[in-house]
Amino acid sequence: MSGKEGGFRKRKHDSFPHGHRREEKDSINFSSSVMTSFRIFQLELDTRHDKYERLVKLSRDITIESKRTIFLLHRITNASNVEEILTESEVKLDLVRQKIKQVAQELMGEDVYQYHRAISPGLQEYVEAVSFQYFIKTRSLISLEDVNRQLIFTEDNKEEEKKLSSDSPSKQKNTWNIKVTPVDYLLGVADLTGELMRMCINSVGNGDIDTPFELSQFLCQIYDGFSYIGNTGPYEVSKKLYTLKQSLAKVENACYTLKVRGSEIPKHMLADVFSSKTEIIDQEDGLS
């Protein structure tokens, strides 16, 4: 019994100056059916809570590693280091997927939704990382199906070949998979837009003039998508819509500045104009 519980007990006794309680307590048969069943409940609840805690821990690890991957991807400054960083990020994401595999193993035979709250933050962050990498590679949005396809795990040995050769429906015993829910996917994508906004500002700083326009267009598409969903989705999704709108505005303003000032200022000075411009935007955000 925890210390907390002990304190509670003490308090309780304080409010009972008379001695009834003791006597009655002693008369309780500790092997009675009630006690026996509560002992079973104890075991059941402990097992459940332990599993939940393990999943929270895994989820946290997934979040941290995903965040690191995102930072790594932000370090792409010019064409020369793109390949190198993409390879490195792939390694990192593989590590994250190993963690997700552990989650999938933990959830084997369980109702995923029972523990959904434990793992959902990690999965969202993973979607953010994986979609960011995908965007850098292909300049498009990764689909939910593609995300989930990467989360089918097979036993490391021989079965690896099977996985590569086909999407054979014959499920082996040693297959685990976990599905990112549509809502987690949406929330992950919403967070992605924040990263894209940063990438846009950074790329101007690096003298990359084309990327901001590409990003602006892409963000516009995502914004349209979210507007289409509107508030039919759960509350969290509608909440993100607001942040998304702000990110989009920043990127659009950046593009505007680029267009207007770009014609008159030499490329190397543009970055300076820009960093001061974004500062102003950030300050405005702070006020609102």
Partner 1 sequence: MSVSEMFIALQGVLTADQDIREEIRKVVQALEQTAREILTVLQGVHQGSGFQDIPNKCQKAREHFGTVKTHLTSLKTKFPADQYYRFHEHWRFVLQRLVFLAAFVIYLETETLVTREAVTEILGIEADREKGFHLDIEDYLSGVLTLASELARLAVNSVTAGDYSRPLRISVFINELDSGFRLLNLKNDSLRKRYDGLKYDVKKIEEVVYDLSIRGLNKAATGGAGEEK
Q: Which listed residue (7, 38, 83, 149) binds partner 1 by CB under 8 A?
A: 38
Q: Which listed residue (3, 10, 15, 31) binds partner 1 by CB under 8 A?
A: 15
Work out the widest C-alpha separation in the chain, in whole angstroms.
93
CB of 143 to partner 1, least distance (A): 6
Q: Which listed residue (98, 114, 172, 206) binds partner 1 by CB under 8 A?
A: 114
Spell 183-201 as b/e; 16+ CB within 10 A means b.
Answer: ebbbbbbbbbbbbbbbbbb
The binding track of 224-263 with respect to partner 1, each residue x by CB under 8 A or -, is: xxx-xx--xx------------------------------
**Is residue 15 helix, strand or coil?**
coil
Angle at 34 (CA atoms; ends 32, 40), nearest 5 degrees = 105
CB of 36 to partner 1, least distance (A): 9
- Beta carbons of 249 and 278 less than 8 angstroms apart: no
- Beta carbons of 88 and 74 less than 8 angstroms apart: no
| Among 1-9, 119-127, 172-180, 278-286, the segment contacting partner 1 (CB under 8 A) | 1-9
Residue 275 found at the interface with partner 1 (CB under 8 A): no
Q: Which listed residue (31, 33, 157, 165) binds partner 1 by CB under 8 A?
A: 33
Q: Would the annotation count 125 as a binding residue?
A: no
Q: Would the annotation count 84 as a binding residue?
A: no
Question: 10 Å Cβ neighbour count for 240?
Answer: 19
- Beta carbons of 226 and 248 less than 8 angstroms apart: no
Query: How far apart, in whole angstroms, are the C-alpha atoms of residue 119 and residue 184?
Result: 10
Chain contacts with partner 1 (rule: CB under 8 A) = 1-2, 5, 8, 12, 15-16, 18, 20-21, 24-25, 27-30, 32-35, 37-39, 41-42, 44-46, 48-49, 111-114, 116, 140-141, 143-144, 182-183, 185-186, 218, 221-222, 224-226, 228-229, 232-233
